[in-house]
Amino acid sequence: MEANWYAVYTKPRQERVAEENLLRQHFDCFLPMAVNPYQRRTKTRLQRVEPLFPRYLFINAIADQQSLGPVRSTRGVCTLVRFGMKLVTVPEAIIQMIRRRMNPDTGLVELNPVKVKPGDRVRVFDGPFAGAEGILEACSGEKRALLLMELLGRQTPVEVDRLLLQRI
């Protein structure tokens, strides 16, 4: 028999609690974590480490040899992900792809935000200009961008954080 990866759906913000309790039950768990480059900005600008897939983690088990029944009653867990009555298996290739993107020093999955370049039509998704759209005119420095936005009936240049932009 071959072990399969299964997706576990957790309670809100209890991925680590679920992982800890599943490890105590001798399940092989994988909870990929990452620094979200698109997170909301705060006054302190601290980067928060968050699960790569909020409310999900993965367990590796042989369903015929290891009972998956206790998983559902584990603290922090809602249920195992299934389609109808069939448990969803996650291909080993997907787990390996995520592991290859992990930084060996930090253990965090490295996310590369979508690069925007001058001339792209973009939308600001956070901050005082949230929801506003414009054309990226130039990038000023590593973190700032100059947008041309339609304000008061004319094109107005506005400087915003580059990580707050989404290409439309």
CATH number of the domain that residue 64 is part of: 3.30.70.940
Residue 114 resides in a domain: no
**How many other CB atoms are there within 10 angstroms of residue 90's CB atom?**
18
Q: What is the pLDDT of residues 11-28, one digit of tens each?
A: 999 999 999 999 999 999
Residue 108 resides in a domain: no
Q: What is the pLDDT of residues 68-93, one digit of tens each?
A: 999 999 999 999 999 999 999 999 99
Facing residues of 60 across strands?
Answer: 5, 28
3 state DSSP class of 83: strand
Sequence length of the chain is 168
- Burial (0-12, 13-18, 19+ Cβ within 10 Å), 18: buried
CATH number at residue 160: 2.30.30.30
Domain with 144 in it? 121-167
| Cα-based distances in Å from 26 to 23, 53, 59 | 5, 22, 10
Q: What is the pLDDT of residues 87-141, one digit of tens each?
A: 999 999 999 999 999 999 999 998 776 778 889 999 988 788 888 899 999 987 7
The Cα 80–Cα 55 span in angstroms is: 11
Residue 53 resides in a domain: yes
Same domain, 56 and 128: no
pLDDT of residue 32: 97
pLDDT of residue 41: 58
Same domain, 125 and 91: no
Backbone angles phi, psi at 140, to 5 degrees: -115, 105
Same domain, 26 and 80: yes
Name the domain count of the chain.
2
Same domain, 134 and 71: no
Instruction: Report, in angstroms and rounded to the nearest whole number, the Rg of the chain calculated over CA atoms.
Output: 21
Residue 110 resides in a domain: no
pLDDT of residue 1: 75
pLDDT of residue 91: 96
pLDDT of residue 167: 87
Helix (H) or strand (E) holding 17: helix 15-24
Q: Are 56 and 26 in contact (CB under 8 A)?
A: no
pLDDT of residue 96: 95
